[in-house]
Amino acid sequence: MLKEVIATRFITPLREGGSLPGLVEADDFGTYVLKFRGAGQGRKTLVAEVVCGELARRLGFRMPRLVTVEVDPVLGLGEPEQQVQELLRASGGTNLGMDFLSGALGFDPLAFTVSPEEAGRILWFDALVNNVDRSWRNPNLLMWQGQLWLIDHGATMIWHHNWPGAEASSARPYDASDHALTPFGPDVAAAAAELAPLVTEDLLTEVTAEIPDAWLTDEPGFDTPDDLRRAYARPLLARAAVIHERIEGTK
């Protein structure tokens, strides 16, 4: 289970991305990037962050630790900005937090280089989860303490927005033509040989167990949170075996 903390202070909104995450302090004195449950795409974005973030970590990627953050809407009362106030008000209960990597730089494909091996691993992973948000315009990669860290897996697994069509949608290829690491000659074949065998049913059960029940209730077509957890695992298991042959736009 993810560690649970309680937000004690809203520090500031983070403006670079699209979803307006915030920086908060919590009752364990940690500083976290808060992803609001009440933001645009709602709780599915948070589920995607947990599934992909925890899978990435178990496959050996550097990924900031995730926690759940309890938010009391009264935190918003003192906020000068209406948008922040509204987000806090709409996000009472369980939200997602991520360790704040203080001093991290956004990855700039023109200023840093990445080995074909590492580029291949990240590209393969993004193809697996169908990440459409690692483009050279908006890489969602951070350089911290001299190494590359993955963040922002909210725009992945598009199939979870339409479960009846999930099997067909998840069988589709991955378009890597805009991917931030395509220019680095990613060795996808080596990455697939190393990583695909690690994506087992057991591993996916462990990963999906990390999703808080609160984000899995009342999904049409599913009786229990565990049914929905299995629906998250299934397409990833199927894709792991074949996706390296279905990556388009890398040549």
Ligand X SMILES: Nc1ncnc2c1ncn2[C@@H]1O[C@H](COP(=O)(O)OP(=O)(O)O)[C@@H](O)[C@H]1O
Chain positions contacting ligand X, by CB under 6 A: 14, 16-19, 21, 33, 64, 98-101, 104, 106, 140, 142, 151-152, 154
Query: Which residues are at the interface with Mg ion (CB under 5 A)?
Result: 17, 140, 152
104 binds, among Mg ion, ligand X, none (CB under 5 to 8 A by kind): ligand X
Comparing C-alpha atoms, which of 153, 3, 154 is closest to residue 69?
Answer: 3
Nearest distance in Å: CB 64, ligand X:
4
**Token pair recorded at residue 168:** 């067909």
Nearest distance in Å: CB 17, ligand X:
2
| Of 18 and 183, CB closest to Mg ion | 18
* CB 54, CB 205: distance < 8 Å: no
Nearest distance in Å: CB 200, ligand X:
28
* CB 62, CB 101: distance < 8 Å: no
Round to whole Å and give the CA distance between 81 and 91.
16
Round to whole Å and give the CA distance between 109 and 137.
9
60 binds, among Mg ion, ligand X, none (CB under 5 to 8 A by kind): none
46 binds, among ligand X, Mg ion, none (CB under 5 to 8 A by kind): none
Comparing C-alpha atoms, which of 163, 169, 141 is closest to residue 230?
Answer: 163
| Of 33 and 119, CB closest to Mg ion | 33
| Of 75 and 96, CB closest to ligand X | 96
Q: Is 107 exposed, middle or buried (0-12, 13-18, 19+ CB in 10 A)?
A: buried
Comparing C-alpha atoms, which of 235, 234, 245 is closest to residue 170?
Answer: 235
Nearest distance in Å: CB 82, Mg ion:
23
158 binds, among ligand X, Mg ion, none (CB under 5 to 8 A by kind): none
| Of 72 and 99, CB closest to ligand X | 99
120 binds, among ligand X, Mg ion, none (CB under 5 to 8 A by kind): none
Q: Which amino acid is at 8?
A: T
